[in-house]
């Protein structure tokens, strides 16, 4: 009789790759799926999970988190890794993080998740101040890869480059074979629909990029929300084959409140949020928005981070000398709904994935919100799995993940459909989360061959992936 390490029994198994949707058992050995079928003998396994009444899907892959910001080296080191695991994620990609912060976080409070990172581009910190030559841009991308990152993230809404520099970063990353993600906006446009309109010119006919949180550019800053949604979807569909994209489903956004010595906000994102409700884009405007409950900042509790507003929010804002995380309830539900569900004339989803843009920020609600869309009828269960796991795996070239079939990685997320939340998280056949409680530790870093030496020196387990197989480069298969 065959013997397995773990048996997941009696669950509704959902696999978007094969279209499988039926009650079945999943047998796991040596971190891989060995067998899927009905009524596998429980005596054949060392351990088992009864998933009766639960939905069993490939491990959720979140292609847009923030778990490794440089600021996380302080009191909240590694907390984002705990929070993503507690929400049901098994693999995450940090869109703009420090490798030092990531390795420190895994050591301090790793949760067992697989995690890759993109190097963030911040003038005066990770890139020089002032205009950048093509040679310097190539050096910056090389440095990110050598440090172990999968590529780079352009934060146009916070640290915009000129259109020429932005286009050069994209083409350089493409030429080197690095992953490249973009929060839209240059010195000529903002973190709004105008920044999205600029993308075709930045890419030309050959450029490839991951466009982050499309709903962030459909908040009614330029046109009525419905018109912005329609135009955004048309831009994305016209660029099909050159881009991958995601949308997040939380109402609060995540931004940075830092102001300059004159009291003016530095981030275009914050200014946009304040102007939407007629607040001045200044430190005093932020204080007024906190007092009124429109703005929030982050406070730490024994169970994690929470959003706070009012006088406590102002106190934290002042204590941090304005340099604190901020949140505004600006993400439109109509935008999130339509962008997630929209399909083109070939009946293909226009936006590829659901990502949280969370981690440390308490809005890790991919599964909860996606389940609401399923209950509403906007997504079929296997379409939800496509958005939460299969497409994200393809976006990153993770060919062994995102699928529930024999021989693939035994990364599994189990969902309680009544609660609409993840009940179990499993990575490589090992339980990392049970009913929201994280029981995993450590983690595996996803890197490229260029970064192997740097990651190996940390002593943290790693997996080398081939970015040329990422969807933006390999095409939609």
- Quote the domain boundaries for residue 96: 59-251+331-396
Which is nearest to 314 in space by CA: 292, 295, 290, 294? 290
Assess whether 287 and 384 both reside in one domain: no
The reported pLDDT for the residue numbered 74 is: 47
CATH number, position 69: 3.20.20.140
Contacts of 328 (CB under 8 A, 6+ apart): 252, 253, 255, 273, 274, 276, 289, 294, 295, 296
pLDDT in tens, 204-240: 999 999 999 999 999 999 999 999 999 999 999 999 9
Assess whether 269 and 136 both reside in one domain: no
pLDDT in tens, 299-318: 877 666 788 999 999 999 99
Assess whether 33 and 65 both reside in one domain: no
CATH number, position 433: 2.30.40.10
The rounded distance, in Å, linking the Cα atoms of 270 and 322 is 12
Structure token pair of residue 201? 């010119």
Q: Is residue 453 part of a domain?
A: no
Burial (CB count within 10 angstroms: exposed 0-12, middle 13-18, buried 19+), residue 143: middle
Evaluate whether 238 touches 200 at the Cβ level (below 8 Å): yes
The count of domains in the chain is: 3
pLDDT in tens, 331-380: 888 898 999 999 999 999 999 999 999 887 778 899 999 999 999 999 99
Assess whether 137 and 245 both reside in one domain: yes
Assess whether 152 and 262 both reside in one domain: no
Assess whether 20 and 156 both reside in one domain: no
The rounded distance, in Å, linking the Cα atoms of 137 and 178 is 13
Last residue of a domain, which of 273, 296, 329? 329
Give residue for tokens 């997996």: 463
Assess whether 117 and 50 both reside in one domain: no
- Strands, E, within 87-215: which ranges? 89-97, 114-120, 151-155, 179-183, 209-211
Q: Is residue 286 part of a domain?
A: yes
Q: In whole angstroms, what separates CA 123 from the centre of its chain?
A: 23
DSSP state of 390: I
The rounded distance, in Å, linking the Cα atoms of 342 and 351 is 7
The reported pLDDT for the residue numbered 176 is: 95
Assess whether 178 and 218 both reside in one domain: yes
| Stated pTM of the model | 0.92
């Amino acid at each position: 009789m065959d013997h397995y390490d773990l048996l997941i029994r009696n669950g509704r198994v959902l696999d978007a790759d094969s279209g499988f949707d039926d009650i079945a058992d999943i047998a796991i050995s040596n971190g891989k799926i060995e067998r899927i079928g009905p009524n596998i003998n429980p005596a054949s396994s060392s351990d088992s999970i009864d998933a009766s009444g639960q939905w069993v899907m490939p491990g959720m892959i979140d292609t847009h988190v923030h778990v490794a910001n440089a600021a996380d080296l302080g009191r909240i080191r590694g907390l984002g890794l705990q929070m993503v695991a507690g929400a049901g994620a098994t693999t995450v990609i940090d869109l703009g993080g420090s490798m030092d912060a990531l390795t420190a976080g895994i050591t301090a409070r790793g949760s067992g998740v697989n995690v890759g990172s993109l190097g963030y581009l911040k003038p005066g910190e990770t890139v020089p101040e002032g205009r950048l030559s093509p040679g310097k841009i190539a050096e910056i991308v090389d440095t990110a890869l050598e440090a172990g990152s999968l590529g780079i993230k352009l934060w146009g809404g916070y640290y915009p480059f000129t259109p020429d520099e932005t286009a050069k970063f994209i083409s350089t990353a493409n030429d080197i074979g690095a992953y490249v993600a973009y929060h839209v906006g240059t010195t000529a446009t903002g973190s709004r629909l105008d920044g999205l309109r600029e993308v075709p010119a930045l890419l030309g006919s050959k450029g490839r990029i991951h466009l982050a949180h499309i709903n962030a550019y459909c908040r009614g800053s330029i046109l009525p929300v419905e018109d912005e949604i329609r135009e955004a979807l048309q831009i994305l569909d016209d660029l099909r084959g050159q881009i991958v994209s995601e949308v997040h489903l939380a109402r609060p956004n995540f931004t940075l409140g830092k102001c300059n010595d004159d009291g003016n906000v530095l981030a275009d994102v914050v200014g946009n949020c304040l102007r939407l409700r007629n607040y001045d884009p200044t430190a005093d405007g932020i204080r007024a928005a906190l007092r009124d409950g429109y703005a929030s900042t982050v406070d730490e509790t024994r169970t994690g981070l929470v959003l706070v507003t009012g006088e406590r929010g102002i106190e934290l804002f002042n204590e941090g000398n304005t340099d604190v995380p901020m949140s505004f309830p600006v993400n439109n539900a109509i935008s999130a709904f339509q962008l997630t569900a929209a399909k083109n004339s070939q009946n293909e989803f226009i936006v590829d994935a659901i990502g949280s843009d969370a981690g440390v920020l308490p809005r890790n609600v991919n599964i909860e919100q996606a389940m609401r869309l399923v209950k509403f009828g906007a997504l079929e269960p296997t379409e939800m799995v496509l958005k939460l796991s299969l497409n994200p795996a393809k976006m990153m070239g993770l060919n062994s993940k995102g699928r529930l079939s024999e021989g693939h990685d035994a990364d599994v997320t189990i969902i309680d459909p009544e609660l609409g939340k993840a009940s179990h998280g499993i990575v490589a056949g090992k339980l990392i989360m049970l009913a929201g409680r994280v029981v995993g530790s450590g983690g595996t870093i996803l890197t490229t061959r260029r970064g192997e030496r740097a990651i190996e020196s940390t002593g943290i387990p790693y997996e080398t992936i081939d970015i040329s197989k990422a969807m933006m480069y390999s095409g939609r298969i």
